[in-house]
Amino acid sequence: MAQGINTQSVLAMRSAGYYSERTAGARDVINNASEMVLRALEDMPASQILRIADFGAADGGTSRDMWMHIIGSRRAGGDHRQIEMLYTDLASNDFSTLFRMMQGMQGDPKHAYQMHHDNVFVHACGTGFHQQLMANESLHLGFSATAMHYVSVKPLEIPHHVHAVAADPVSHAAFAEQAAKDWQHILLGRAAELVAGGRFICLNFGIDEQGRYLGNTGGKHMFDHFHKHWAALRDAGTITHTEYERATFAQYYRSIDEFCAPFHDPNSPVRQAGLTLKSCHSKVTACPYHAAFLQSDGTMSAADYAATLIPTMRSWSETVFRTALDGRDGDARDTIIDAFYDAYEAEVTADPTGHAMDYVHIILDIEKSA
């Protein structure tokens, strides 16, 4: 079985604004963190310029409302410093859409903060967050939401599932080991970048105290359904066994203990680099599409609900299945991918009970010691 499968050149959210337009839940999670970010900024030491980085930002659409609120609040409070905003993601990311959104050329222009506030400068970095991205001691506030569950490489292809949360013990252990290494690299990169007194606020997919995680909060298990429909294509001869196995998500959902481990060991490289954990807690955010379905009192059909739920799943998962089909021509891949999501949508339409994509985040507030 292949080892150390680097997926960084192909991982990306679906482009042209599709991702942020169909991920209202991720936007809700970020907007709910606004006050936490504002408090962190108020606690920071004075500086002439405020430098902020949004790590793993995709097309920037899910966090744009929050940054508009943050910058507007700072300006209203008399903070007129120059602000540098750095958006980071992989080289495969759709940075063109990001820049159009920030300048009001795509999406709702009322959230295009570059249009509404002077002395705000937006930049981008097309390199993964598993390494240092900025000069030493140059960053005041780092922020990341729903991104750092991605591992830098897949240690292996999971043989009988698509995700580490339901993998066999050997596969799960391999992903856990890779995720622990990656978390240390992520934190050491931020430790180098942050100024003394700087903060890193991270809203990460993870497993909470009750064992819940994205798409598994008491109803139907989303990743089991991904696997079921992908395996059905293999069993029907539509995809090969190799293509079936290659659809392994390059993700690992850490537990609270796994997130906190580098901070609890006084001899860890993370602690030695000056990072301390100010707070850590879990939060479940209800799937907004499921909530809208329930609140419709029957006016929204099951088919209409499925037509909103499946696209939000597709916006971030499609790259996994599409990459598994490398070697096929584009039309053939499109046909298979559409059939895969159509099968899932048909199942939800037939019986929507229990189908939702609730978000489970572990929220960390990290400080670089003075």
Region of poorest pLDDT, from 23-27, 76-80, 176-180: 23-27
Q: Could you read off the pLDDT of 200-249 as tens digits, one per residue?
A: 999 999 999 999 999 999 999 999 999 999 999 999 999 999 999 999 99
Instruction: Record the pTM.
Output: 0.91
Model pLDDT, residue 21: 54
CB 275 within 8 A of CB 263: yes
The CATH number for 249's domain is: 3.40.50.150
Looking at 24-33, 96-105, 242-251, which range is the least confident one? 24-33
Residues 113, 64: contact at Cβ < 8 Å? Answer: yes
347 is in which domain, residue-wise? 5-368
Can you list the positions of beta strands (E) in 26-70?
Answer: 49-55
Q: Enter the tokens of residue 297.
A: 């009192």
φ/ψ (deg, to 5) at 252:
-150, 130
Pairing assessment for the beta strands 359-368 and 275-285 based on DSSP bridges: antiparallel
Mean residue pLDDT across the chain: 92
Q: What per-residue confidence (pLDDT) applies to 215? A: 93
The whole-number average pLDDT for the span 279-292 is 94
Distance CA 228, CA 343 (A): 10
Tell me the average pLDDT across 174-195: 98
Report residue 284's pLDDT band, with 50, 70 and 90 as the boundaries: very high
Alpha helices in 202-301 (DSSP H): 222-235, 241-246, 256-264, 269-272, 288-295
Structural domains of the chain, count: 1
Predicted pLDDT at 18: 41
Q: Is the dihedral of CA 35, 40, 44, 50 positive or negative?
A: negative
